[in-house]
Amino acid sequence: MTKFTPKHKINSFHPPKRTLMGPGPSEMHPRVIAAMGQPVVGYMDPVFVQMMDELKDLLRYAYQTKNPLTFPVSGPGSVGMESCFVNLVERGDKVVVCRNGVFGGRMIENVERCGGIPVVVEDTWGEPVDPNKLDDALKSNPDAKVVAFVHAETSTGCASDAKTLVDIAHRHDCVTIVDAVTSLGGTPVLVDEWQIDAIYSGSQKCLSCTPGLSPTSFSDRAIARVKARKAKVESWFMDLNLVLEYWGNTKRTYHHTAPGNALYALHEALLLLREEGIENAWARHWRHHLALKAGLEAMGLKYVVKEGYRLPQMNAVYVPEGVNELEVRQRLLAEFNLEIGAGLGPLAGKVWRFGTMGYSCKAENVMLSLAALGSVLSDMGSPIEVGHAEAAAHAAYAAQHAEAAKAARKLATA
């Protein structure tokens, strides 16, 4: 028997309590944390099956869809992405992929690994996908079968016009794959209204659940394409033909051991979303974004994305000249237990990403972020007037309250 001698004593793991204001994961509501601690039951237990049905209904609400095949893939958002591509892309298929950040690049990787031929529509990082470029690419490639794009690009905080892009794809007889990892629950995602064919997200961002699940939804059009494939889906685990037998509405057959306690947590997170009301959740993300924006701009920080295309839940700002961005993040974590995100790809070392997502999206987190950042920057010699950012955020909140009160009075006298 091999003797195991650890270098130090190993105790039970108890992570510190952090304020999570990065690109994900976000903080979890106490009800979601409690849900994960409930007893394990079998994945074919009648009570578990009932919970699965409720979970599908709750996800349909979040996605604003009636798609029967709306369910959480057992894996993170990256697995949801791969599930869409491996089912809808066959060898030799031409796929138009729109890239304006890191995650469009990952879509290209998926096309290549499925044996497809990627046609890349490039846009500058921090700018939305250009619908005219997509239309031109499809005119030049009339044999394209699929169009894929990121609705909410996590690497930059930029939103693209999903409805317009889907309309263009459908005019050219293509099915669509849409990344909504950062948008679901934070900004409108209207699957039926926009006629999206396949969409995936992540459980750990605006839904404020534990990482490790990927909510997905497939239209009848997408399922028909899967059933018409010439070759088997190359992934057994992600083959929708098999998954349908487990997550479908008929008698279920065993497919895999579902991550039960994580599904309990997602059920509770989605229930919280429904109780709040999805439009109220969208408004909450916008409200706290405006306050954070006011504070960051009061410190002289510039946004990567132009106004009109910014995601309220993902705020990317340029690091001031001469500031060591890594040192700032390290000090925020060490001194304030506050996590913010770094830049990715060509933006690495140049930007910070502040996530106002899900349960993390609240006034106390916004104010802590501004106070802590101002304190660290001032201590490092930046010309920051401590307290100025917090005052700007308070003013933004006050202006929104005044506007809401005015609207309420107008409604009451109508």
Is 317:296 a contact under the CB 8 Å cutoff?
Answer: yes
Residue for token pair 């029967």: 68
Separation CA 366–CA 368 (nearest Å)? 6
Residue for token pair 């394209």: 144
**Tell me: the pLDDT tens digits for 139-149?**
999 999 999 99
Please indicate whether residue 5 or residue 204 has the higher confidence score (pLDDT). Answer: 204
In the prediction, which pLDDT does 3 show? 74
Fold of domain 30-274:
Aspartate Aminotransferase; domain 2 (3.40.640)
Q: Please give the backbone phi and psi of residue 108, each rounded to the nearest 5 degrees, phi first.
A: -60, -45
Average pLDDT over residues 214-221: 97
Domain boundaries, the chain: 30-274, 277-413
Separation CA 224–CA 229 (nearest Å)? 9
Separation CA 315–CA 317 (nearest Å)? 6
In the prediction, which pLDDT does 258 show? 84
Provide the whole-model pTM: 0.95
**Tell me: the pLDDT tens digits for 320-354?**
999 999 999 999 999 999 999 999 999 999 999 99
Average pLDDT over residues 239-260: 78
In the prediction, which pLDDT does 218 show? 97
In the prediction, which pLDDT does 249 show? 64
Report whether pLDDT(412) > 90: no
Fold of domain 277-413:
Aspartate Aminotransferase, domain 1 (3.90.1150)
**Tell me: the pLDDT tens digits for 161-188?**
999 999 999 999 999 999 999 999 999 9
Give the closest residue to 186 by CA, choosing from 202, 210, 205.
Answer: 205
Q: At what angle do helices 363-379 and 388-413 cross, to 10 degrees?
A: 160
In the prediction, which pLDDT does 158 show? 98
Report whether pLDDT(1) > 70: no
Enumerate residues 6+ apart whose C-beta is below 8 A from 403: none
The rounded mean pLDDT for the chain is 95
DSSP state of 277: -
Report whether pLDDT(247) > 80: no
Average pLDDT over residues 204-233: 96
Give the closest residue to 128 by CA, choosing from 161, 154, 163, 164.
Answer: 161
Separation CA 299–CA 316 (nearest Å)? 14
**Tell me: the pLDDT tens digits for 46-89?**
899 899 999 999 999 999 999 999 999 999 999 999 999 999 99
Average pLDDT over residues 283-291: 98
For residue 353, list its beta bridge partners: 316, 341
Instruction: Categorize the per-residue pLDDT at 252 as very low, low, confident or very high, splitting at 50, 70 and 90.
Output: low
In the prediction, which pLDDT does 413 show? 74
Report whether pLDDT(394) > 80: yes
Q: What percent of the chain has pLDDT over 90?
A: 86
**CA dist 99 → 16, 87, 124, 129, 162 (Å):** 37, 21, 8, 7, 14
The number of beta carbons lying within 10 Å of the beta carbon of residue 18 is 13
